[in-house]
Structure 1
Amino acid sequence: MTGLTLYTNPMSRGRIARWMLEEVGTPYDRVVLGYDGAMKDPAFLALNPMGKVPTLRHGETVVTETAAICAYLADSFPDAGLAPPPADRGAYYRWLFFAAGPLEAAITNASLGADFGTDKTASLGYGTLATTLGTLEAALADRDYLAADHFTAADLYVGSHLGWGMMFRTIPARPAFERYRDRLYARPAHLRAAALDDADMPPPA
């Protein structure tokens, strides 16, 4: 055992956590859990009562929620350079939480057909989907990376959301989004992680 264990499924947000682990470059173990009840097994629920993946165990520390896993790994393995110095983390935290909060909520609500009406937008943390996507598009219009002059965990997390959303057409394939995704997905760590996850996919029925 390496001290790092990722509980995951290749058809889940666990792909994001695995990419992050490949960027970190530290050996880790992985446990693939199926959607056939394994995630609700009492042994796993003791780690994550939500019964969801990804879940990361690092020694006696357990971290759930994908953005938290990315931030935790960046802090735990600083030599990987995946987080700016603490004094320069304003944009880093902003975009991590932007993707985990407004972006995901706006996309999920829209994909489920939720229509709250224009009179309810003030009650929504993201306001409108158009505003949320426009904000991100404007941020990517003139920069390669969101939070620093180099790749960080914030790029990995936001880029994963964009890649996933454009693949399933819950996010429009705008040029700024496509350029950003393509740049990030070409990283060797992403290619390794994707190949490993693809190998873990269940065989066709």
Structure 2
Amino acid sequence: MYKIIGFPRTRAMRVMWLLEELGEAYDIDPALPQSDAARAVNPSGKVPILMEGDTAITESVAICTYLADKHGRFTFPAGTLDRAKQDSFTQFGVDVLEGALWTAAKNTFINPEDKRAPAVKDVCRYEFARGLETLEARLGDGPYVMGETFTIADIIIGHCSGWAVAAKFDLPKEGPVYDYFKGLRNRPAFKAMMARVNEGT
């Protein structure tokens, strides 16, 4: 059984979602970021952390990549053009969509008050909206970014859509990106993950 260290309403959701897709059992230690429990295994204090035996794996994208590669599912083989395209979508999700959301969060409640620049949040909303335009342009016939194949890139991008709702960033109310996000939310594994998140376990 896998063990996740990290409060569920964080990027831990990405790892939980993937483990639900894989059908793998997992326990959660709902440690908050910067808590003693998190710092004990990750000097940065960031969550999530996946414990594989005595080894701590940090950073949600690295964790998801490891699990997908290990189980041979929800990813294309390394060294293939499909994997390169998949990785480009993953990196887009992190750099563009998450980048805007994370910068806004740091300047809302994460950084010390005297280290925040509230005005930057308008720039973040602009960059996020531009990112969604790029996503729409890159989406093919779907239903996923890699066509018929659901991958961890969808998990990263899909998680950003939920984060956007919590951060009060605008999302499309119709069109291809709306349909894409709706399809992700309708996956049984996503619903199972959200049930555990709402339970707080």
Instruction: Provide the TM-score with structure 1 as the length reference.
Output: 0.78
**Residue ranges of structure 2 left out of the alignment (5+ in a row):** 108-118
CA distance in 2, matches of 1:134, 1:57: 37
* Identical positions, percent: 33
What secondary structure is seen at the aligned counterpart in 2 of 1:89? helix
Q: What does residue range 48-87 of structure 1 map to in structure 2 within 5 Å?
A: 48-78=42-72, 81-86=73-78, 87=80
* Pairing 1:114–2:120 present: yes
- Alpha carbons 1:145, 1:151 under 8 Å: kept: yes
Give how far 1:93 is off. 0.4
CA distance in 2, matches of 1:171, 1:159: 14
- How many residues are treated as equivalent by the alignment? 184
Instruction: Provide the TM-score with structure 2 as the length reference.
Output: 0.79
CA distance in 2, matches of 1:93, 1:5: 25
Matched AA of 2:94: A
- Alpha carbons 1:70, 1:157 under 8 Å: kept: no
- Alpha carbons 2:3, 2:27 under 8 Å: kept: yes
Q: Which residue of 2 aligns with 1:177?
A: 177
Q: Which residue of 2 aligns with 1:124?
A: none
Matched AA of 2:35: K
Q: CA separation of 1:110/1:152 partners in 2, compared to 1, >3 Å: closer, same or farther?
A: same
Q: Deviations over 1:119-164 (max 9, x none)?
A: xxxxxxxx95454222112123632111242111111111111232
**Residue ranges of structure 1 left out of the alignment (5+ in a row):** 118-126
What secondary structure is seen at the aligned counterpart in 1 of 2:46? coil
CA distance in 1, matches of 2:159, 2:129: 19
- Alpha carbons 2:104, 2:121 under 8 Å: kept: yes
Q: Which residue of 2 aligns with 1:195?
A: 195
Q: Deviations over 1:34-84 (max 9, x none)?
A: 46xxx431x531311111211111123322111111111101111xx2101
Match of 1:26 among 2, 13, 24: 24
- Alpha carbons 1:84, 1:148 under 8 Å: kept: no
Q: What does residue range 118-197 of structure 1 map to in structure 2 within 5 Å?
A: 128-140=127-139, 142-175=141-174, 176-197=176-197
- Alpha carbons 2:76, 2:86 under 8 Å: kept: yes
